Amino acid sequence: MSEKKFFPMFIDISDKVFLVIGGGKVAARRVKTLVNFGCTIKLIAPEVDDEIINLHYDKIHIIKRKYDITDMDEVDFCLAATDIAERNSKITWDAKLNHIAVNNASDKNDCDFYFPGVVDAAPLTIGICASGVDHKLAKQVTDNIR
């Protein structure tokens, strides 16, 4: 099977809702990136990292409980970012069943989109992605540009 190729596309997400399932370090990194682009974030997790709580972003709605498929209602994108790969796979399945683009933090091959390294140097916004193959390289290039 050939490697999937991802098209770099910049979109306005200011009126979009991101469902983030998981409250740990990976979720925190994703949320910290998203808040800079004005979207609404619905975060579901029994426990939430202080890094997320301390963001004080009025468009983050934190719900401290386990995920339920009804959480997919009225969202545009989903991030499966728990620390359990099997749970992320189930969340990804549910998202795809509901025609919601999803990023599975546990499985690069089961993602509809990746999170790029983002450099915000107004008026430029630069996204760096290694197609899920080499996160360290993408981070290194992003840091070098910053």
The pTM of the full predicted model, rounded to 2 decimals, is 0.90
Is residue 81 a contact partner of residue 19, using CB atoms and an 8 Å limit? no
Give percent of the chain with pLDDT exceeding 90.
67
Query: What's the mean pLDDT when you consider all of the chain?
Result: 91
Picking from 51, 44, 1, 38, the residue whose alpha carbon sits closest to that of residue 20 is 44
Structural domains in the chain, sorted by start = 17-115 (3.40.50.720), 116-146 (no CATH)
pLDDT > 70: percent of the chain: 97
pLDDT per position as a tens digit, 91-136: 999 999 999 999 999 998 999 998 888 888 889 888 888 766 777 8
